[in-house]
Amino acid sequence: MVTFAFFAAMTGVGGGTLRDLLIGAPVFWMHATAPIAVCLGIALLVWFTPHRVWHERAIDWFDGLGLASYAVYGAAKATAYGIPWLPAAIMGVVTACMGGIIRDVLAGLPSIVIRPELYVTAAALAAGLYVGLDAVGLPPIAAGAIAVVLGFCLRGYAILGKVDLPAYRR
């Protein structure tokens, strides 16, 4: 259970930690209890919930929503710290994806980001769309909502249709 909670925490705060270090912001979970408490609380909830309660693809859908949401949040935070549009969008992708990469590296598993599945692409869509909509003057809440919904829809399309990007060929 402790290892399970550790992996949940690393997944939950890893990308945002890296983002904050790169943009010069205080590391978010070091100054507030709630983010790490939520990670640990959800880990305990999942640990003690019987497996039969969860749909077999539930984790993919929850992860897809988190992916789109954190991509937008990361891009918005970078923008608020004065980061230009392209690095801000990349910080959105870092926020959304790096926690999972850290988890996979620590667990010795192949990461989802190196598979052809539409994953990083959905994060890039959400973060890039937020930055673009913000740049043209859309209110941040509207820009964020549109970007999260479309990023989540792309990820959902990949989950339902098992859609992959073409692999690099030499």
pLDDT tens digits for 139-152?
999 999 999 999 99
Tell me, yes or no, whether 166 lies in a domain: no
Calculate the average pLDDT of the chain.
92
State the Cα–Cα distance between residues 131 and 125, nearest whole angstrom.
10
pTM higher than the cut 0.85: yes
Tell me, yes or no, whether 167 lies in a domain: no
**The pLDDT value given to residue 163:** 80
Proportion of the chain above pLDDT 90, given as a percent: 75
Task: Find out whether 163 and 157 touch, Cβ atoms under 8 Å.
Answer: yes
Tell me, yes or no, whether 155 lies in a domain: yes
**The pLDDT value given to residue 59:** 83
pLDDT tens, residue by residue, 53-104: 877 788 889 889 999 999 999 999 999 999 999 999 999 999 999 998 999 9
Tell me, yes or no, whether 8 lies in a domain: yes
Tell me, yes or no, whether 15 lies in a domain: yes
H/E stretch holding 41 reads: helix 34-48
**First CA to last CA across the chain, in angstroms?**
44
Listed in sequence order, the DSSP H helices in 81-115 are 85-107
**The pLDDT value given to residue 154:** 96
The residue whose two tokens read 């408490």 is 37
Which residues lie below 8 Å from residue 118, measured CB to CB, with a gap of 6+? 154, 155, 157, 158, 163, 164, 165
Tell me, yes or no, whether 170 lies in a domain: no
State the Cα–Cα distance between residues 152 and 57, nearest whole angstrom.
15
The residue whose two tokens read 């990461």 is 111
Q: With 80 as the cut, is the pLDDT of residue 160 above it?
A: yes
CA distances from 140 to 96, 120, 121, 145, 159 (A): 18, 22, 22, 8, 28
Q: Number of folded domains in the chain?
A: 1
Tell me, yes or no, whether 127 lies in a domain: yes
Q: Which domain holds residue 109?
A: 2-161
Q: With 80 as the cut, is the pLDDT of residue 130 above it?
A: yes
Residue 77's SS3 state is helix
Q: With 80 as the cut, is the pLDDT of residue 38 above it?
A: yes
Tell me, yes or no, whether 154 lies in a domain: yes
